[in-house]
Amino acid sequence: MNEKLQILKERTEDVEIIFVGGILDAHTAPILENSIKETIENGIVRIIFNLKDLEYISSAGLGVFMAFIEEIRNKNGDFKFAEMKEKIYSIFELLGFHLIFDILKSNDEAINYFKNNYLKKNEW
Amino acid sequence: MSGKYKLVLKADLNELDKLRDFVKNICYENNIDEGNLFKISLALEEACVNLIKHSYKFDSSKQISIYSKVEKGKIHFTLEDYGASFDPREVLPIEIEQIRKKYQKGGMGIFLISQIMDEINYTPKNKNSPSNKLELTKILE
């Protein structure tokens, strides 16, 4: 486990919650990338990223989500985000990522989105 | 080079912590709020990562010097490198809609710098100066 970036996974039926905490920068982004790859290889395509302990994100970190989103949506899966801090949200907003990802208040809310099969479409 | 603060980084992604600490110290000393600190750190990281990748091709024996000063409601940074010249303004404006539509992984860094910083200037190395200089200025609200 990298001391700058913490990743914890929790499985609920066919949904995996990945808790990402610490610093997600150009240096640590490959760690998250490998971790997501592993989850997808295990056949999980419905993933919630709980970002309550995420303190920092840069474009390299955001790029990790972009790298997989098309693949998992093609497999009828999605990424949802839960408990994101305001400062992290401000970066998602700057890039318009709030328009392509569901950003929710809690894990439960995100799980419900999956249960109701609500998949966000790219709005362009 | 003018600037009250100076940091020299190796061209290595492992050095980004030092960069964030540097920005944090300047912001604390000048009462710059958390929101600005976060965005300024991000813009500086994006600029340094571009230099490490494109100017120095991950050669960690190379260095980036960063100078900063805060005056008249503005924070200034000058990043100095000795690698290949690259004027980030040449790729602006970036079509961020295209990045989202095509789920592109790259191209976001320069877009973020342009959104966060109010002025971007670039002077490539030349016969009078052996280094490239990228100047970033943010007006503090």
Nearest chain A residue to B16, by CA:
A27
Mean pLDDT of A102-109: 94
pTM over 0.90: no
Residues of chain B contacting residue A27, judged by C-beta atoms under 8 Å apart: 13-14, 16
Residue A122 lies in a domain: no
* pLDDT tens string B100-118: 666 666 678 888 999 999 9
Q: Which of B45, B101, B108 sits opposite A95 (nearest CB)?
A: B108
* pLDDT tens string B124-136: 999 999 999 999 9
Looking at the structure of chain A, the number of domains it has is 1
Residue A120 lies in a domain: no
Q: In this structure, what CATH number is given to the domain that contains residue A24?
A: 3.30.750.24
Domains in chain B: ranges and CATH: 5-139 (3.30.565.10)
DSSP state of B27: H
Residue A123 lies in a domain: no
Range of the domain at A49: 5-86+93-115
Contact A17, A81 (CB under 8 A): no
Mean pLDDT of A13-40: 96
Residues of chain A contacting residue B42, judged by C-beta atoms under 8 Å apart: 56, 58, 91
Residues in Cβ contact with A16 at an 8 Å cutoff, skipping those fewer than 6 apart: A9, A10, A39, A44, A46, A47, A48
pLDDT at A119: 58
The DSSP annotation for chain A comes to --SSEEEEEEEETTEEEEEEEEEESTTTHHHHHHHHHHHHHTT--EEEEE-TTEEEE-HHHHHHHHHHHHHHHHTT-EEEEES--HHHHHHHHHTTGGGTSEEESSHHHHHHHHHTT--PPP--
pLDDT at B30: 94
Q: CA A4: distance to chain centroid? A: 18
Task: Determine whether the interchain pair A91/B34 forms a contact, defined as Cβ–Cβ distance below 8 Å.
Answer: no
